[in-house]
Amino acid sequence: MEFCLDPQSPLLSAEGSFKRMLKGKRIVLAIGDQLSLAAIALIPVIRDGSVGNFTTQQEAAAACHAKQPDLLLVTDELQQGNGIALLNEVRKLSPDTKALIFLKRETSDVVRDAINAHATGVIFVSSIGLGPGGDFMRSLAAACEGSVYIPDVVRERAGFSLKPLPEFSEKETEVLRQLCQGRSNKEIAAELMVSPETVKTHVSSLIGLMQVKDRTSVVIQAIRAGF
């Protein structure tokens, strides 16, 4: 099954949520299958934000270094190179780029490597859905909000050896649970009936307690711990 979206879907239309999420975003595509790459690159909202469409790791890495895109959509299998290796490169070359990786291979090793590469979203090609609750749209929304989305099926397949987490307060635990569901500060604030500033304070506390540098690392460490 190739990674492919229907350009005629209402969700990808000029008035859809897809456009609102991607408005003003600079996008690089790195998709190994040329037909899928061409189809996705021609979706108007992606075409409008595109700063490069590639099938190889080397070309995509160079583009990310030069263009510093907001968003990278990548498949694990590329014509030359590897999508996970590309993520590790881009973390150094363009650290502010949010990356979504679509895995055709669903083995534990591949999933763990993708999560460890600090992808903003890790989803299986076989489970992509275009509805608002589908993995593709949820991972995209999370990336655009500065959050992380790694669905339960991916976490379970990773099979990490569990590592203990620091002790958290009840509120910190609630915020961490929401972060692991890919929710933004605004969404967490609404769910917990607190202010976004309060959520931001809890996120900063989690970063300090877990001794990591950002919220992506918080989520990844939590997933490794089986949270």
CATH class assigned to 10-158: alpha beta
Do residues 213 and 169 make contact, with C-beta atoms less than 8 angstroms apart? no
Q: How far apart are CA 121 and CA 163, in angstroms?
A: 22
Name the segment(s) of the chain with CATH classification 1.10.10.10.
Answer: 170-224
Name the segment(s) of the chain with CATH classification 3.40.50.2300.
Answer: 10-158
- Only one residue has tokens 């001794």, namely 211
Please write the tens of the pLDDT for every residue from 137-188: 888 888 887 788 888 888 888 877 667 788 889 999 999 999 888 888 888 9
Of 3 and 78, which is predicted with more confidence?
A: 78
Average pLDDT over every residue of 66-70: 95
pLDDT surpasses 50 at 15: no
Average pLDDT over every residue of 22-36: 92
Average pLDDT over every residue of 216-223: 86
By CB atoms closer than 10 A (0-12, 13-18, 19+), residue 168 is middle
pLDDT surpasses 70 at 8: no
Please write the tens of the pLDDT for every residue from 94-132: 999 999 999 999 899 999 899 889 888 899 988 775 555
Of 10 and 225, which is predicted with more confidence?
A: 225
Above pLDDT 90, what percent of the chain? 44
Q: What is the pLDDT of residue 2?
A: 55
Tell me the residue type at 94.
S
Q: What is the pLDDT of residue 147?
A: 80
Q: What is the pLDDT of residue 1?
A: 46
Topology of domain 170-224, CATH: Arc Repressor Mutant, subunit A (1.10.10)
Average pLDDT over every residue of 193-200: 91
